[in-house]
Structure 1
């Protein structure tokens, strides 16, 4: 087994070190850094804007670039959180609690350096887990049939709605909308047009690019314009970034604990880096002998959440690449990219395209090393990016979005569809409806339909197949438990509101 692993790592390294893959890896992580530094721009918005470019690249190269944006944004997200008390990414929000107080104490450089160190450590743990456990997980997944896959996808969708932030009911509603949008177009088996309402352009289905760019590009820009502000930022020198021996002593154990938390929750569908960050912060405050230091510039409160969210980012690729089940909207985009390139995601992909799988894994090492080299020496450049006027930045983004959508199919209909989705996405955000579950439902909906139909053929139309097969039954019970837990939380919240009202 060790010999097979070494051969796979050598294959992956030879793939990742090609000139083209190195260039696009560098582009991805650099853009990710920029996106993370600029508050409000959004990782998903950037990935959606660059999605059309990936159609003209090899699948391995395309995933390397998009993945670089994803985990690169985690490195940059802490910069604005520490310097301006504005998180560049949602997972960096908890860094504000101690990072900004450190900046006000004149220790912004130390906070930035230690978050970079923690990010690299957490990412390394996530990559090692992917290297060690992907193949054993594939052996288990190969025993899955249509019933198991369908049940597991149900668990993933429900978990993404129930465990993540916001209303679980609204999340489930958006998943259902996403599934309905996903089945628009011709039925693969019967050739019957569904839900096109006489619009010929919808025969091939709704474009994933138009949907993603609308909900996560146009809507994100509209939302960010409301909160735009220009802030004066002081200078951060390299000398000021050097941590003391006490800083290092206080940081190494939180890094270890946080990487375990981030890796564990990164594998779980729907949890993601934000939850991992808050849990790791809460744990460090709980185990600390001086909990009163937290919120006033504790180095552990900066290092732990950044380590956890980077470990979670890398670990989230395990269910996406190995099982074909995305745990977040970002992973759904990467899964959609594989499908568009004609690659079936899942356990068979490791055997059919080992160069792609192991090439992407080894590119993670290269990308994270590049991020360390970019983040520390060039911190002054990243800081200056925060002074770009938003009235210049955001109109340019909208123009690039429209150009990107049109370049995919040369369809003006898709451009108008993108603008429509942008308006709908903005309205949904105003009303508190999350967009991420919609994208998950859109990508997984057609796959769930295929697996459900196959299961029905095997069982001759009987739904018993989902509860008589042990693994599928376990997934069904888990999905039911998550739904009941969600309903119980809604009931408790309403009771609490009623009890607080004066009689």
Structure 2
């Protein structure tokens, strides 16, 4: 149980005044952007990424992580009260949460969501603390060909589990890989796709790419839309569930937590997939499935527990293997690289304070969410009244200031503007930008491990198939690709991502 003493050390780091304040800032911002539809954690993290340059790596990651899991909590508040999900993972919560509110049980629904989220977040934090050391030890024994195959599997899973069309997801991943090759070849020192531009020798700036695709692209896409948000004033009522509601909710919380913890590990998985899958399972195993959609407490408890557990467990492959399971985790890897922290199995030894401080802060952040958010329900509902005409110019100004602060240069701003136009075009075409970000992060790493494997095998490409672990991972990737040919799988996939 060495991890318990390491976790205790992590709490000593997380409870410093600076880290407590940044954790509080992260979860508060996360809740706010979870309440506001159309913003989301990706946009917020992209905007705040330049501001973390002045922070210590541990403090920066604590705040960014708080934004992510805080957004999962905030989305449930408006989903229940006004039938308006702030986050994609809260879409399912609208089905029964808002019906409970209309039946005068809004307070009970909010309490079920809060307690379920806190329990799932606690379990997710313990999972990271308990299993990450073992997974990191296993990863240390990986050979280059095994790492190559693992990353190929990650990209394939991201394609299969991404929302939208499969061909579009493939195009996004390949575009990200292509953009990742811009710059000086690390092996030969030859410039690639720089077009004679000195500024591109170090490659495309990750912050400019992320901010352009998500922040600028989102602003451009939303500028032409008409946003009608009629806020319904509901009486919250008693914040304590009845005995019958509690009896129905707690088994759903347990099942949702277990399912979300597993699905969060998958590349392309995370909060959204977990919430939809848990709701489907609860409805199928219920003795009264007709109650779902009409105010069933289990219909609130299961998806809320699942999306928070999925959000927490998605940190495990990111921290221990260096493989992001979704767009936010790709952003977190980018933040680590900005601070010269290499994600992967050695992060627990080389940056032990960062790893255990981040893990401990997650439990503290989840506790903060329960304590500060239930009393602030009225404020969050009023927050919805902020017009988009005021919201997005403010985001744009902060983004430009942050981009200029990177190197006191206008080049990142120009790059972000170009990627913003591309992001708007992707939105118009129905292409999800998150797989592009995964390709941008994993593409150069795949190239490096492929070259290492070929060098060690003296150019023998069969090494990827003769090494047992590498072969098993490639077979898994092939089976995952073949699974999309199944009509049942395709139908289920369309049902899950129907909100797109």
> TM bucket by the smaller chain?
over 0.9
SS at match of 1:347: coil
Match for residue 31 of structure 1?
Answer: 29
Match for residue 283 of structure 2?
Answer: 285
SS at match of 2:386: coil
Consecutive unaligned residues of structure 1, counting only runs of 5 or more, are: 497-503
Q: Aligned-pair distance for 1:24? A: 0.8
**What do the CA deviations read for 1:383-433 (whole angstroms, capped 9, x no partner)?**
111111211111111111111111112221211211111111111111111
Match for residue 186 of structure 2?
Answer: 188
Match for residue 319 of structure 1?
Answer: 317
1:131-170 alignment runs, 5 A limit: 131-170=129-168
Q: Aligned-pair distance for 1:70? A: 0.4
Note closer, same or farther for the CA distance 1:194–1:211 as it changes in structure 2 (3 Å cut).
same
Q: Distance in 1 between matches of 2:417 and 2:123?
A: 40
CA contact (8 A) 1:41 1:224 kept: no
**What do the CA deviations read for 1:257-301 (whole angstroms, capped 9, x no partner)?**
000000010111111111110111011111111111111111111
Structure 1 residue 63 corresponds to structure 2 residue 44 = no
Q: Distance in 2 between matches of 1:284 and 1:459?
A: 50
CA contact (8 A) 2:34 2:40 kept: yes
Q: Distance in 2 between matches of 1:72 and 1:179?
A: 30
Note closer, same or farther for the CA distance 1:492–1:287 as it changes in structure 2 (3 Å cut).
closer
CA contact (8 A) 1:24 1:64 kept: yes
Match for residue 500 of structure 1?
Answer: none
Q: Distance in 2 between matches of 1:6 and 1:125?
A: 14
SS at match of 1:377: helix
Match for residue 229 of structure 2?
Answer: 230
1:461-472 alignment runs, 5 A limit: 461-472=459-470
Match for residue 12 of structure 1?
Answer: 10
Match for residue 99 of structure 2?
Answer: 101
Q: Distance in 1 between matches of 2:311 and 2:82?
A: 24
Q: Aligned-pair distance for 1:25? A: 0.7
CA contact (8 A) 1:229 1:390 kept: no
Consecutive unaligned residues of structure 2, counting only runs of 5 or more, are: 495-500
**TM-score between the two structures when normalised by the length of structure 2:** 0.95
- Between 51-60 and 98-107, report the one with greater CA deviation: 98-107
Match for residue 81 of structure 1?
Answer: 79
| C-alpha RMSD of matched pairs (Å) | 1.7
Q: Distance in 1 between matches of 2:457 and 2:374?
A: 58
Q: Distance in 2 between matches of 1:83 and 1:315?
A: 28
Q: Aligned-pair distance for 1:147? A: 0.6
Q: Distance in 2 between matches of 1:292 and 1:472?
A: 47
Q: Aligned-pair distance for 1:490? A: 11
Q: Aligned-pair distance for 1:489? A: 5.1
Q: Aligned-pair distance for 1:236? A: 4.3
Match for residue 21 of structure 1?
Answer: 19
**What do the CA deviations read for 1:442-467 (whole angstroms, capped 9, x no partner)?**
11111111111111110111111111
SS at match of 2:343: coil
Match for residue 276 of structure 1?
Answer: 274
Q: Aligned-pair distance for 1:246? A: 1.3
**TM-score between the two structures when normalised by the length of structure 1:** 0.95
SS at match of 1:241: coil
CA contact (8 A) 2:82 2:231 kept: no
CA contact (8 A) 1:75 1:116 kept: yes
CA contact (8 A) 1:39 1:80 kept: no
Match for residue 499 of structure 1?
Answer: none
Match for residue 438 of structure 2?
Answer: 440
**What do the CA deviations read for 1:305-359 (whole angstroms, capped 9, x no partner)?**
0100000000001110011111111001111111222222111111111111111
**What do the CA deviations read for 1:123-171 (whole angstroms, capped 9, x no partner)?**
1111111111111112211110111111101110110110232212211
SS at match of 1:376: helix
